[in-house]
Structure 1
Amino acid sequence: MARLAGLDYIFAICLITSFLDAYGMGANDVANSFSTSVSSRSLSFRQAIFAAAICEFLGAILVGARVASTIKDSIIPLSNFPTVGFQMLGFACISAGSASFQLFATRLGMPVSATHTVIGAVVGVGIASGGAQSVNWQWDGVGQVFAAWGIAPAISGIFASIIFLITKYGILKRKNSTTIAFYAAPAYFFVVAAILTMSIIWKGASTVKVDELSTGVLVGSIFGAGGGVALLSILFFLPYVHCQVVKKDYTVKIWHIFLGPLLWFRQPPADANDSTLAVPDYYKGHREEDWSHLDARYKNPDEVQAAEDGRSESHKSVDAGRNSNSSNRHPSQLAEEVEKRCQTTDFTGRPPKPYYHPIEGAWIEPWNIYIMLRYNLLPFLGYYLFGGLRTNIHEMQKSGSEKTQAKIRDMHAQATQYDNNTEHTFSFMQVMSACVASFSHGSNDVSNAIAPLAAVYHCWSTSEYSGEKSEVPVWVIAFGGIGIVIGLATYGWKLMSVLGNRLTLHSPSRGFSMELGASVTVILASQFGIPVSSTQSITGATIGVSCCSGTWRTTNWKSLAFFFYGWCITLPLAGIVSGCLFGIIANAPSFINV
């Protein structure tokens, strides 16, 4: 049948809202997943963006869901929509409501579940279109969502705690922890690869028909992947780490890992010793001496006040120079000032906003137009589009008032800091677990953002109803994957700034346990058909590891309460936005016929 040409505008609007929904998912859901790797310094923020761009996109394209659940788990019946046009409108409102709440929650620094946001939007449209009685509130509908608030964090917290306790007492607290970690690494790689393979098969690879595979094929795939990765770790990983940790070779680069066994014969520089930092400092910024500036304010108040007065006068002079007539300065001077400001970041970790250059005379004058475009518009566009790439996540997680910084310092002081070389061994396993979890997330959860678009596209292009399951074109999946990556790159810093070390002290061994515990939870939940959230799973895993790192004071319980509050308001707020939007449009009078 021909497309619904009269409803082209609904399809166009849904394209925009679906992109914003995917954008919000990348800035919130994916940023939450990668915050542990960034906070532990296993990955930099830019490396996390690069890894997510590859894994999320490939997961969505290669093994992503080709069939999206458009009536999410049969929450509302198709009978709620009397015409195809009404169904198009309903799913467009679902997309708009989900996108609105995702962006709202991200702006507040509130980690929420993308899956539950879409479900809330579906419930809102269902109530607006057929009443509350038309919504499936039973266990096989909305009931599972409420149960998941407690199930996902609890199960992931238990598994992450078990993994961390085994690592803690088996390796980290041992006298020769680095040597033990070195020899135990292949076994860890085997377990991690096997578990993550199960995660891809049972949750991520929607195009793989697991029921059609025999037990032997499944077991062979899982153990084969684990054994293969363990063998690769022996051939390539151990020689590389040996050069860094034992030989103190600070000249070895990450690409040297491909030399494999040849690294055993690599000679370190003559000046290589314990003082040369061959591995990253994973506890940088979290030791007691790194918070000395807080104590200085109380020990030398006169000196601190004098320094503040000096900075104040300096800022006044700088502002006076900036407020001088911009039209009297040469373009090279303006460009130099912009460049200097772009190379600095303020104490919060965010790059400073560009300075607005005033103009004199009419704005239509060629010189003023040049100033507005070159030194006002372009810098501000660059700040909002690419400023996130220059954000220092670790400084943001430590920023705040003196009282807030003191609380973070005291919280970190309660957590034990282990040998840095031992932690370095777990950083590679954490990166692997983060990338595979991202691949699984992209292959499965991208459908949450593009399911409404898939339904609208089906209705619009065929003039037929979209059933409970709707075929998803590849371009729609790619569209959602691109939105997720852009969301993480441009706005993912917002959520990462309130997670990670602001919730508890992170390190590679802790982050590895968190991510693996969350992956195990997702595997079990997918087997039992419980729609758990990756956001809630990683949060529960973080709390579980935190409680095993020291005392109960190692956790920021106030932030955790705020996150739980966000989970509670996800369904009602997303539902209110989508439901009200649908009700207003669907019941609006036709001004043509009035």
Structure 2
Amino acid sequence: MLDQYTYIFVIGTFFALLDAYNNGANDVANAWATSVSSRSISYRQAMIFGTVFEMLGAITVGARTADTIKNGIIPNSAFQGNAGVQMLAFTCALAAASSWVMWCTRHSAHVSSTYSLISAVAGVGVATVGASKVQWGWNDGKGLGAIFAGLGMAPAIAAGFAASIFMLIKMVVHIRKNPVPWAVWTSPFFFLIAGTICTLSIVYKGSPSLGLNKKPAWYIAAVTLGTGGGVAVLAALFFVPFVHAKVVKKDYTVKWWMFLQGPLLFKRQAPDDAGAVNVIPNYAVVQEEDAEQSSTSSESIGEYDAKKTDADSTGIPIKTTSQDNEKNVSAVEAAQPTYRELMGQGDDKLRAKLLKKRGPLGWAMRTLRDNPMGAGQLYEVHNMKILAKRIPATVVCGLLYGLHYDIHAAQTGIAGTPEGERMQRVYDHAKKYPNEVEHTYSFVQILTACTASFAHGANDIGNSVGPWAVIYSAWHTGSAAASKAPVPVWQLAVLSATISLGLITYGYNIMKVMGNKITYHSPSRGCSMEMGAAITVLVFSQYSLPVSTSMCITGATVGVGLCNGTIKAVNFQRVGLLLLAWIATIPIAGTLGGVLMGLVLNAPHFR
């Protein structure tokens, strides 16, 4: 028969997995939303690269030890050597944080899983040892005071760094009369910047187990600049000739693997009809016309009624009273679809396309459509047979629906709705640059996105694995874990896989409201945002201040959007909702954790 410690371990494991799943669906999805929004990479490719680099970062150089006090908020003496109380505390913290983040993800509200867990730990600390024992001050950058400081400073600093990088790109490339050659020949310089920043990200944020940040300053500078310089040299040897052949010579016969030919591509003769076939992707953000029924209804009911002559069936004009006019106006308003109905129409169009697919998703959706639950109770024989068909189809839909979701259409807003019109006004205030120029920076953005994902997997895996490692250590040894608890590799592998699962299956719910929902995206803008966010994380890491990567990328997005020269190029309504969600996370997650801990700890069974 299982004892109470085993029960707590099983429950804690469940919520640790749920927290990791939410981390992938929320934080990691937000990190990749910039690349997907810029169209530098497709949604499916982002899922593949995100999964690979998240797991590589977590397993190879992920945290091998976990702080039992979680950033110094709860003193380790609070547990008084009681393994049960320690396990219960972190189980309640995981339950509170994962529940809040799951609710926010379900409603497409982006919050930081890091801040959620830290706030929940603080609430648990209040319930366990009292408010006086919780570290409310700075505490060497680990207390709640530092958390509040990071919440306010990080987005603003990231906005400044990202705006500076994008303005550099504008000055060097975008404002030129012929920007395409400038984009090609200066690309090694931006690869140098990106390579150096990415290497610093791995050194200071992504390699706690390697101890690279403990090396002398000259050693770190030599390694990072050497790596960045090496990337720049490789770009000059292989990338520049390849892109030159594609965007300058417009050689449509060049294949991706020909970059290995390097400088030999400069001598490659372009075909006589070079330029006849466009091989450069279109990076423009285009709204989908998903409101055909709305426009048709508006024209047939509204405009036609306004133009036609009031007449009876004989063609003789008739008089109308004010009451008749009011009835006509009410009828027109009733006939026009509401915003919710227009959003439903967009989802219905997506489902209609998916129903026609031949793959497993199409089969699953057709199975669910053709096998609705029958009358009577669930245990009726006919319902049991239907349920046997619906369960596997539901699982398949849950696993594959996100991979086929139209992220770009969801981000731009449905045409004909107030939101779609608002986003169109935002896009109209953003300068559009040639696709040939943007194509050059799409490669830089992929580099920065993959490195950010690697660093996230190496560092932020501790948000979920830290409490779980403590719970496991206390359950395995039977005593309260020390200030540092060892983290087995298998725990890193399990949670990194769970993070990737959250990104693949539910990440679309956050991606659809990020990126282009805030401002106009393009590869040159996107790589500036990601590099600005990475620099901000590095700066905060040097001062041991907790910071959310998601908040940094959001602030960087706003900063680049303001580089268009007007605040109208940023959707501040969406920014305001994000700020509200961030601020609400601290009291809500903390209250949930504290209340849950207080209820369970003081239940008769645990006295």
Same-fold status (TM-score > 0.5): yes
For the 8 Å contact 1:353–1:383, the answer to whether it is kept is: no
Separation in structure 2 between the aligned mates of residue 25 and residue 518 of structure 1, nearest angstrom? 18
Q: CA deviation at 1:294?
A: 11
Map 1:390-429; keep pairs closer than 5 Å: 390-400=404-414, 402-429=417-444
Aligned to 2:105: 106
Separation in structure 1 between the aligned mates of residue 174 and residue 263 of structure 2, nearest angstrom? 27
Letter in 2 for 1:48: A
Separation in structure 2 between the aligned mates of residue 262 and residue 74 of structure 1, nearest angstrom? 57
Letter in 1 for 2:86: Q
TM-score after normalising by structure 1: 0.86
> Match of 2:462, SS?
helix
> Match of 1:123, SS?
helix
1:527-578 Cα offsets, whole Å, 9 max, x none, are 0111111011111100100000241101111111110111111111111222
For the 8 Å contact 2:166–2:560, the answer to whether it is kept is: yes
1:248-276 Cα offsets, whole Å, 9 max, x none, are 23454434433434434545555442x52
For the 8 Å contact 1:450–1:477, the answer to whether it is kept is: yes
1:351-372 Cα offsets, whole Å, 9 max, x none, are 9994152477999999976654
Q: CA deviation at 1:373?
A: 3.3
- The match for 1:504 among 519, 539, 543 is 519
Separation in structure 2 between the aligned mates of residue 280 and residue 410 of structure 1, nearest angstrom? 24
For the 8 Å contact 1:164–1:509, the answer to whether it is kept is: yes
Separation in structure 1 between the aligned mates of residue 524 and residue 167 of structure 2, nearest angstrom? 10
1:204-228 Cα offsets, whole Å, 9 max, x none, are 1112324642333212211210111
> Match of 2:63, SS?
coil
Separation in structure 2 between the aligned mates of residue 353 and residue 269 of structure 1, nearest angstrom? 50
Q: Are residues 134 and 366 of structure 1, via their aligned partners in 2, closer, same or farther at CA, if it must alter by over 3 Å?
A: closer
Q: CA deviation at 1:477?
A: 1.1
Aligned to 1:230: 232
Aligned to 1:324: none
Aligned to 1:280: 281
Aligned to 2:343: none
Taking only aligned residues, the RMSD between alpha carbons, in angstroms, comes to: 3.2
Separation in structure 2 between the aligned mates of residue 452 and residue 439 of structure 1, nearest angstrom? 21
Q: CA deviation at 1:506?
A: 0.2
Map 1:262-301; keep pairs closer than 5 Å: 262-268=264-270, 271-273=273-275, 275-285=276-286, 300-301=299-300
Separation in structure 1 between the aligned mates of residue 375 and residue 210 of structure 2, nearest angstrom? 66
Separation in structure 2 between the aligned mates of residue 473 and residue 60 of structure 1, nearest angstrom? 12
- The match for 2:36 among 35, 38, 42 is 38
Separation in structure 2 between the aligned mates of residue 116 and residue 293 of structure 1, nearest angstrom? 42
Q: Does 1:192 align with 2:188?
A: no
> Match of 1:71, SS?
coil
> Match of 1:470, SS?
strand
1:134-165 Cα offsets, whole Å, 9 max, x none, are 11100121001111121101111111111111
Separation in structure 2 between the aligned mates of residue 516 and residue 128 of structure 1, nearest angstrom? 40
Aligned to 1:317: none
For the 8 Å contact 1:294–1:406, the answer to whether it is kept is: no
Separation in structure 1 between the aligned mates of residue 302 and residue 585 of structure 2, nearest angstrom? 48
Q: CA deviation at 1:468?
A: 2.7
Q: Does 1:472 align with 2:487?
A: yes
Aligned to 2:579: 564
Q: Are residues 26 and 253 of structure 1, via their aligned partners in 2, closer, same or farther at CA, if it must alter by over 3 Å?
A: farther
1:266-317 Cα offsets, whole Å, 9 max, x none, are 45555442x522111000415xx979979966994459999xx9x9xxxxxx
Q: Are residues 499 and 471 of structure 1, via their aligned partners in 2, closer, same or farther at CA, if it must alter by over 3 Å?
A: same
For the 8 Å contact 2:285–2:520, the answer to whether it is kept is: no
For the 8 Å contact 1:505–1:546, the answer to whether it is kept is: yes
Aligned to 2:23: 25
For the 8 Å contact 2:361–2:400, the answer to whether it is kept is: no
Q: CA deviation at 1:342?
A: 7.1
Aligned to 2:242: 240
- The match for 1:67 among 65, 68, 83 is 65
Aligned to 1:119: 118
- The match for 2:46 among 45, 48, 70 is 48
Q: CA deviation at 1:394?
A: 0.1
Q: Does 1:460 align with 2:475?
A: yes
1:152-184 Cα offsets, whole Å, 9 max, x none, are 011111111111111112211211111011110
Separation in structure 1 between the aligned mates of residue 204 and residue 605 of structure 2, nearest angstrom? 49
Aligned to 1:166: 168
Letter in 2 for 1:130: V
Letter in 2 for 1:387: Y
- The match for 1:380 among 389, 394, 403 is 394
Letter in 2 for 1:104: W
Q: Are residues 284 and 126 of structure 1, via their aligned partners in 2, closer, same or farther at CA, if it must alter by over 3 Å?
A: closer
Separation in structure 2 between the aligned mates of residue 360 and residue 69 of structure 1, nearest angstrom? 52
1:400-442 Cα offsets, whole Å, 9 max, x none, are 4611111111110011101110011000000100110111111
TM-score after normalising by structure 2: 0.85
* Count of residue correspondences: 555
Q: Does 1:538 align with 2:553?
A: yes
For the 8 Å contact 1:70–1:455, the answer to whether it is kept is: yes
Separation in structure 2 between the aligned mates of residue 345 and residue 9 of structure 1, nearest angstrom? 37
Separation in structure 1 between the aligned mates of residue 49 and residue 251 of structure 2, nearest angstrom? 26
Q: Does 1:492 align with 2:507?
A: yes
> Match of 2:186, SS?
helix
Q: Are residues 9 and 553 of structure 1, via their aligned partners in 2, closer, same or farther at CA, if it must alter by over 3 Å?
A: same
- The match for 2:567 among 540, 544, 552 is 552
Q: Does 1:179 align with 2:181?
A: yes
Q: CA deviation at 1:478?
A: 1.2
Separation in structure 2 between the aligned mates of residue 278 and residue 585 of structure 1, nearest angstrom? 62
Q: Are residues 25 and 283 of structure 1, via their aligned partners in 2, closer, same or farther at CA, if it must alter by over 3 Å?
A: same
- Tell me the percent identity: 40
Comparing 200-209 and 406-415, the one that deviates more? 200-209
Letter in 1 for 2:283: Y
> Match of 2:509, SS?
helix
List runs of 5+ in structure 2 lacking aligned partners: 306-334, 338-351
Q: Are residues 22 and 177 of structure 1, via their aligned partners in 2, closer, same or farther at CA, if it must alter by over 3 Å?
A: same
Separation in structure 2 between the aligned mates of residue 38 and residue 258 of structure 1, nearest angstrom? 27
Separation in structure 2 between the aligned mates of residue 451 and residue 262 of structure 1, nearest angstrom? 51
List runs of 5+ in structure 1 lacking aligned partners: 312-335
> Match of 1:489, SS?
helix
Q: Are residues 352 and 149 of structure 1, via their aligned partners in 2, closer, same or farther at CA, if it must alter by over 3 Å?
A: farther
Q: Does 1:147 align with 2:149?
A: yes
Letter in 2 for 1:568: I
Separation in structure 1 between the aligned mates of residue 481 and residue 561 of structure 2, nearest angstrom? 46
Letter in 1 for 2:545: I
Aligned to 1:333: none
Separation in structure 2 between the aligned mates of residue 242 and residue 161 of structure 1, nearest angstrom? 27
Q: Are residues 428 and 105 of structure 1, via their aligned partners in 2, closer, same or farther at CA, if it must alter by over 3 Å?
A: same
For the 8 Å contact 2:355–2:366, the answer to whether it is kept is: no
Letter in 2 for 1:214: P
1:48-96 Cα offsets, whole Å, 9 max, x none, are 1111111111111111111122212211112322421111111111111
For the 8 Å contact 1:236–1:260, the answer to whether it is kept is: yes
Letter in 2 for 1:123: A
Q: Are residues 12 and 291 of structure 1, via their aligned partners in 2, closer, same or farther at CA, if it must alter by over 3 Å?
A: closer
Comparing 578-587 and 354-363, the one that deviates more? 354-363
Q: Does 1:138 align with 2:137?
A: yes
Separation in structure 2 between the aligned mates of residue 476 and residue 340 of structure 1, nearest angstrom? 40
Letter in 2 for 1:204: G
Separation in structure 2 between the aligned mates of residue 256 and residue 188 of structure 1, nearest angstrom? 22
Q: CA deviation at 1:384?
A: 1.7
